Structure 1
Amino acid sequence: MDAYGHVNHASTVTLIEEARVALLFGEAAGHAGAEELAKGVVVARLVVDYHAPLVASGAAIRVALSVREMRNAMFTMDYQVHSGPSESDPVAVTAETLLVPYDPVNNRPRRMSDAEKDFLAAWRSGSNGA
């Protein structure tokens, strides 16, 4: 937290990273045949907008995420960080990441498989992304 008791920028970025990792590297991705995402995805761009202070109180917060755009070799993920555990709690932070699937063996970006695209499509804005 910062001097005012707010969650600082680095910690906010870590919160959205943890939500992204839970989705892309978790069991659901593996069960959907999208296990390659866990082997390599790099953040090509990060934008964070602060709408209200996120107070470091130890209380639960909610990070909702969704996929906004998908192409063959990239996708954009959106985040809403709520100040409490409910979707009705105020949104303190919004963010977006441009993500690129990466081949760590050949050290270069790669195209997504159909299974990866299908998995991410289920998280499109307006789907079940939460």
Structure 2
Amino acid sequence: MARHTYPCPIRWSDMDIYGIVNNVSFVRYLEEARVDFIFRMAPTEGDAFFREGSVVVSHQIRYRHQLVHRHEPVDIEMWVSDLQSATVTVDYAVRDGDLVYATASTTMAPFDYRAGRPRRLTDAETGFFEKYLDETASAR
């Protein structure tokens, strides 16, 4: 199973009044990482998954350690934990080496915006996500 790692910069403005990275900023980090990951699907033509349309179905985040502003980026490691005919679940570990700041999961569904309804994953989309599918995960 392949994993994708996104080096995410920590911005000073991401911290809250308590001096730690705000929970809303974590959701933004996951979005930045996910978009970076998905753009790998069709690097020469832009993002095939988002070009056709997709929606976030759910997010889940577990905070493990406080994260504060720093000049070095934090790594966001991603893989696919579930792949169905009309949804894909991406899992994350926000980390610095062995120290894990948060783990998270996002379920997405491809969506046809013109028709206003969900659609199935294409064979190309499924093939892309299968490369990152955890061996213990379910597929279709």
The equivalent residue for 1:74 is 87
Identity over aligned pairs, percent: 33
Q: Report the Cα distance in structure 2 between the residues aligned to 1:104 and 1:38, rounded to whole angstroms.
A: 11
> Shift of the alpha carbon at 1:118?
0.5
TM-score by length of structure 2 reads: 0.79
Aligned to 1:110: 119
How much has 1:36 moved relative to structure 2? 3.1
- Runs of 5+ in structure 2 lacking a partner? 1-14, 136-140
Partner secondary structure for residue 58 of structure 1: coil
Please give the per-residue CA displacement for 1:52-78, whole angstroms capped at 9, x wherever unaligned: 101122321000001000010001110
Letter aligned with residue 65 of structure 2: A
* Distance of 1:34 and 1:116 partners within structure 2: 13
TM-score by length of 1: 0.84
RMSD, aligned α-carbons: 1.9
For structure 1, list consecutive stretches of 5 or more residues without a partner in the other structure.
none
Q: Report how far residue 34 of structure 1 moved.
A: 9.2
Following TM superposition, by how much is the alpha carbon of 1:37 offset from its aligned partner in structure 2, in angstroms? 0.4
How many residue pairs were aligned?
120
- C-alpha distance in 1, partners of 2:72/2:134? 27
1:7 counterpart = 2:12: no
Matching residue's letter, 2:31? E
Query: Aligned partner of 1:96: which letter?
Result: S
Match of 1:17 among 31, 36, 58: 31
CA contact (8 A) 2:65 2:101 kept: yes
